[in-house]
Amino acid sequence: MQIGYRRRSSLGVAAALLVASAGGGTAADSAKGRRIAERWCAECHVASPVQRRASDAVPTFSQIGRSERFSEAKLADFLANPHRSRMPNLGLTRSEIADLVAYIRRQAR
Ligand code: HEC
């Protein structure tokens, strides 16, 4: 009885921690950014260090991450509204954009 009770309560704590880490947070997550990039950007951009082929006329994420023209704020602005560009507006949410910016900035090296 005592053992069963203990086990249940530690499971409860684990579940609460899981919920907290999954649900909480607007913190930018570059791992999520990477998944978004592979899905939505890699068709045109070289979006990761291991990707070899994409459209020639498009800057790679490592170039963008290093670019002087793109602070994090400018990058986020551009992704929210890539006007006057051949780059399509992909209708990203703010949290997707934050994740992508974190990911793209990590490509700079
Ligand atoms: C259909 C092709 C296509 C897709 C998909 C695409 N892009 Fe682009 N992107 C372009 C092109 C083309 C340009 C160059 C625009 C120009 O020079 O006018 C560009 C430019 C950019 C730039 C600006 C680079 C600069 O130096 O001006 C950023 C940042 C960018 N893309 C990020 C992304 C991200 C992040 C994604 C995925 C969410 C994405 N792109 C998906 C085609 C694409």
For residue range 68-86, list pLDDT tens digits in order: 999 999 999 999 999 878 8
- Domain assignment present for 48: yes
- Domain assignment present for 7: no
- Domain assignment present for 17: no
The reply to whether the predicted model has a pTM over 0.75 is yes
Residue 107 to residue 25: CA distance in whole angstroms: 23
Ligand 1 contact, 40 CB (< 6 A) = yes
Query: Can you give the CATH number for the domain in which 66 is found?
Result: 1.10.760.10
Q: Into how many domains does the chain fold? A: 1
Q: How many CA atoms lie within 13 A of 13 on its CB side?
A: 5
What is the per-residue pLDDT for 6? 58
What is the per-residue pLDDT for 20? 42
- Domain assignment present for 75: yes
Q: Which atom of ligand 1 is closest in space to residue 69's alpha carbon?
A: 26
Query: Residue 98: which domain range?
Result: 27-107
- Domain assignment present for 85: yes
Ligand 1 contact, 102 CB (< 6 A) = no
- Domain assignment present for 64: yes
Distances (CA, A) of 38 to 28, 43, 48, 60, 90: 17, 8, 8, 13, 14
Question: Are the beta carbons of 94 and 102 closer than 8 angstroms?
Answer: no
What is the per-residue pLDDT for 108? 79
- Domain assignment present for 103: yes
Ligand 1 pocket mutation pick from 87, 96, 100, 104 by most atoms within 8 angstroms of CB: 87
